Structure 1
Amino acid sequence: MSDINTAMPLSSNSALNALYPILRRAGLVQVLSIQELSGGLSNHNYKIVTATTNYVLRANADAANHLCNREQECFYWQQLADIKLAPQLLWVSEDKRYYLSEFIESDHLIHWPALECQTSAAGFVQGQAELRLSKLDSLLPSVFYHSSHDSGLHNSGLDDNELNHSDAGTQALLDPAKYNNHPNQVPDLLLELLLELLLQLRSSPTGPYHISVTEQWQSYHQQMLAYQASSALKNRARLRQRDEVIDKYTNDKNWNERVVKLLGIQMDIKNWSNRLAACLIKPQFCHRDLNPHNLLFKNNRLYCIDFEYASASHPLCELAVVLATHRLTPEQQKLLVDGYLKQHPNVTADAVQAVPAAIDMYWVFACYWALLMAAQKPSTHSVDYLAWFDRFWPLITPNN
């Protein structure tokens, strides 16, 4: 892949200039400009402008390599690109640090509303403002809260036999007036496209990679505990170098305070994981990060990007991300949930009752991710990830 043009101007930004040799390795011998598209938490994306075509170069963050499998990521990216649900993946560096892909410029004729948010590598987008809009008690139909087994969920007062898959969409909504004429709600066209995308993804091949909700939780938990033990040993070894270690010690203290919070809800996490396992018939392909920043809108269709956490997993994981990160009215949520779960071959008929558990696990994984990313960063940067933890934590049900 080679683009022949005149000169190759250098940017005044040394970080961008360092990308030109990478692009030459990818086969782009003449580049007009490099523009940063985003400074994500797990990777950075750049628009590469040539005389004939535009591309996207993604630079993966080293810290995220501990949390995702790059071979797996590329496998599913290519799988979705083959069926026109993702940009074409054109080149991958040998060390999997850089990806070159097709550039798809999203249409801006329709505003894509969402909470003020950023993308997180663990498959999560969280609101920085109006966080309460993401809480289950203000977004989901009351039917989602009923449970005779899990005290962590609100009880709607309905009996178990009153709840089933087919009538979920007809249940009463909580405070629908709050969303009347909301200026930032998702347009109905995009709601239709979201549902269409969810249905397309659920029928995609699962591929060779699988992870259950329980396995994901245990993996993150063991990594967290391993870092906690390692950090304690290192701090004891550095006690004689007080000036050198004081910032690190303070940062670790802040990190450990948040670990204690997660340790305190392990029984809740186990209950949510069991609830999800109980309604699972078989895993399906899941992107696991369908937040607004990982979706492109072009020619009345949606394209997925960022496949760091794509895997065969629980079907409700896919639904939970959309419900939690897109500004849907209660009516829109009903349509989305009913449409997605209607005759779903991979979950039981009462899977709607496990939707709150799926959303809570979404926020739980976000908290684990923030701590694990903070553990890989120097003190000056880890505070940013601890701040993300503090944004995620209030969205877990036990913290109401």
Structure 2
Amino acid sequence: MHFPLASILSAYLEQAQLSQVSLIAPLTQGLSNQNYYIRGLHPSKPRAAEWVLRINSWASSQICNRQHEVLNWQLASQAKLAPQLVYVSPDKQFYLSEFFAQNEQRCWSDLITANASHPIVTMQELWPGAEYKLLELLNGLKKLPAPNNVMGFDEQWQVYQRRLELMQQQLRTHKLKSLEVESWLDLHSQLVALKQQVGDMLARLAGCLVNLQFSHRDLNPYNILVVEDKLKCIDFEYACSSHPLSDLASVIASHSLSSEQRRWLIENYLSEHPNLNSKAGNAVPAAVDLYWVFAVCWALQMAFDCLDGDSLNSNSLNNDGLPPDEAIAVSRPSCADYLTYGKQYRDLIASCV
């Protein structure tokens, strides 16, 4: 059944104090939450403006502390490194933030790619000067106050292992039989087989660490905006105090840069870095590999939450007077999609090549 967006989203708009809404449109980027472009009046500005309404998915809320997300987003926003967050629902189910239009002819998201820790040599610069903008963003983030929520590489790996083991047990207990379940279990077993290699990555990264710092942890091009020729980042679901190489690794892994741009960015980010020692340069490949290990973990978790949702989860209930996720979904990835992503991420880990 088709529901006009204005009708479906009316409860959200009212709670967020949006009025005189003249346009609503889905924003298609994003693999977890639902995002909508809104043009309307909000008390934070004297006249009608453009906004992003983000409705958090049940699945992503299981692997993200929304309170920490909001606090870290506000830290970055105060430093002009993120859009302003103008409304947060009391239950953290949805947010309203500034919208910044992007140049459709030259959009930062065009730089999206997937690089292994030792990418092929390339001379092509899709965005000349991208390395300077990225360094400014990385340096700005590292100067922010370290958040109270701490998640180093070791802790994150342990959390993922425990969570995925429980999911595996639940799938076996329910004795669900399908190609997707078998594919999930197979991918999980391949991840478990990497424990020794992951241990080696963690040891190398521990060897170059001096102090933890503010870390966004998912600086892929879809999470970066160009505003007045500077970069701002969005989606702070995984932001925390973490290893100083986590943000550099996510940039190197996900951005299409020339070999020279990549070399310059790594060299200048590491130069006299207060939170890293001289071993950091040799640890960058391990950080990139670990980025893809964690990406496999994320894909498995998201796929699990799509598996037989009615019997495994209770996300169809909503007692807040707001529409359930299904009513507002805009081309949400399926379980099969997430498993495909997970297999692609697995193939980028150096130990799996």
Match of 2:241 in 1: 312
Match of 1:383 in 2: 336
1:136 to 110, 113, 117: 117
CA distance in 1, matches of 2:165, 2:239: 25
The letter of the residue matching 1:227 is: M
1:96 aligns with 2:92: yes
1:110, distance to aligned residue in structure 2 (A):
4.1
Gaps of 5+ in 2: 42-47, 310-333
The letter of the residue matching 1:204 is: L
1:81 aligns with 2:77: yes
CA distance in 1, matches of 2:107, 2:100: 16
1:294 aligns with 2:223: yes
The letter of the residue matching 2:20 is: Q
CA distance in 2, matches of 1:232, 1:212: 30
Q: Per-residue CA shift, 1:242-298, capped at 9, x if unaligned?
A: xxx544xx3222210111100111100011011111110010001111111111102
CA distance in 2, matches of 1:17, 1:392: 38
1:38, distance to aligned residue in structure 2 (A):
1.9
Name the CA shift for 1:200/1:348 in 2 (closer, same or farther; >3 Å).
Answer: same
1:394, distance to aligned residue in structure 2 (A):
0.7
1:114, distance to aligned residue in structure 2 (A):
4.4
CA distance in 1, matches of 2:144, 2:71: 13
Match of 1:146 in 2: none
Q: SS of 2:174's equivalent?
A: helix
1:264 aligns with 2:193: yes
The letter of the residue matching 1:92 is: V
Gaps of 5+ in 1: 1-11, 118-126, 140-174, 236-244
Match of 2:127 in 1: 186
Equivalences for 1:298-377 in 2 at 5 Å? 298-377=227-306
CA distance in 2, matches of 1:303, 1:361: 24
1:328, distance to aligned residue in structure 2 (A):
1.0
Equivalences for 1:17-166 in 2 at 5 Å? 17-50=7-40, 52-108=48-104, 110-112=106-108, 114=110, 117=112, 127=113, 134-139=115-120
Q: Per-residue CA shift, 1:187-225, capped at 9, x if unaligned?
A: 21x321111111111111002111110100110111000
Name the CA shift for 1:271/1:114 in 2 (closer, same or farther; >3 Å).
Answer: farther
1:276 to 190, 194, 205: 205
User: Does the 8 Å contact 1:112/1:292 carry over to 2?
Assistant: yes
Match of 1:165 in 2: none
User: Does the 8 Å contact 1:113/1:186 carry over to 2?
Assistant: no
User: Does the 8 Å contact 2:219/2:250 carry over to 1?
Assistant: yes
Q: SS of 2:236's equivalent?
A: coil
User: Does the 8 Å contact 1:33/1:48 carry over to 2?
Assistant: yes
The letter of the residue matching 1:285 is: F
Match of 2:324 in 1: none
Q: Per-residue CA shift, 1:323-342, capped at 9, x if unaligned?
A: 11111111111110111001
1:185, distance to aligned residue in structure 2 (A):
2.3
1:31, distance to aligned residue in structure 2 (A):
1.0
Match of 2:319 in 1: none
1:136, distance to aligned residue in structure 2 (A):
3.0
The letter of the residue matching 1:201 is: L
CA distance in 1, matches of 2:282, 2:180: 40
